[in-house]
Amino acid sequence: MTVMNVKSLAIHLNQAEYEKREVTSIQAEHPEMTVGDAYKIQEELVGLKLQEGHRIIGPKMGLTSRAKMKQMNVEEPIYGYVFDYMVVPDKTLYLNELIHPKVEAEIAFILGKDIEGPNVTIEQVIEATEYVAPALEIIDSRYKDFKFTLPDVIADNASSSKVFMGSTFKRPQELELDLVGVTLSINGEIKELGASAAVLGHPAESLVLLARMLSRKGLKLKAGQVILTGGITGAVMLSDGDVVQAKWDGLGSIEFTVKK
């Protein structure tokens, strides 16, 4: 894939996000696109957003649980970036700002120290983590019908769209971090449930893997970043009027309403 292709595809995906417009699979038009090309497109897209004045909250991991891999038909964890403008300040999600949003329950890590290198351990991740907190991620793939290949979804910033942060912050040592039960309900009915071990056996493992992936590019996880570790269960499609509530054992709950 040429440098020109990489630049124009990043602009294409960025515009699709801002115009809330579905696009066709890039892979379908560029069968040659590799995972490496896709991360180059993502990097370019992140650069565009930074130029526009947006700030990175942190990188995020995606497709870290079997439930997510199965649902999306993609077999490999990926990363993307969450920006300041994606954080929802109140308790309402507006559909007119989105294409076809889904919600997923996650555990966020807030770092007190940098994490760097290909061989960090879970213990080092926990030691570098100031707090863990619950988060509901809203993913909104820019691709038609939410269908994509692995390179497609990487190029599209791992479907990043919005985030609701919870208000319960715990020190990582205060919880059995792999045994956090979670339920995700819509209009009072449980749609998905699971335990945090669904994320690579332990959600801190998600940061181990992220640090490894970033280290290949000479990058690291930085103190102050808020890092989403990936959906514990499958994601749930949202419609007008939905009242969404998720509960995490030991980490409180998050609730929001979906409006047109």
162 makes contact with ligand OOG (CB under 6 A): no
Instruction: Select 30 or 68, whichever has its Cβ closest to ligand OOG.
Output: 68
Contact pick of 17, 37, 44, 137 for ligand OOG (by CB under 6 A): 137
Q: What whole-number distance in Å separates Cα of residue 184 and Cα of residue 193? A: 6
- Dihedral sign for Cα atoms in the order 186, 190, 192, 194: positive
Contact pick of 27, 42, 149, 159 for ligand OOG (by CB under 6 A): 159
Do 221 and 114 meet the contact criterion of CB atoms below 8 Å apart? yes
Size of the site for ligand OOG (CB under 6 A): 13
Least spacing, CB of residue 69 vs ligand OOG, in Å: 8
104 makes contact with ligand OOG (CB under 6 A): yes
Q: Which amino acid belongs to residue 207?
A: L
**Three-class DSSP category at 21:** coil
93 makes contact with ligand OOG (CB under 6 A): no
Contact pick of 37, 44, 137, 152 for Mg ion (by CB under 5 A): 137
Contacting residues for 239 by C-beta, under 8 A, at least 6 apart: 95, 258
134 makes contact with ligand OOG (CB under 6 A): no
Buried b (16+ CB within 10 A) or exposed e, 174-208: ebebbebebbbbbeeeebbebebbbbbebbbbbbb
Give contact residues for ligand OOG (rule: CB under 6 A): 62-63, 68, 72, 104, 137, 139, 141, 153, 158-159, 230-231
Give contact residues for Mg ion (rule: CB under 5 A): 62, 137, 231
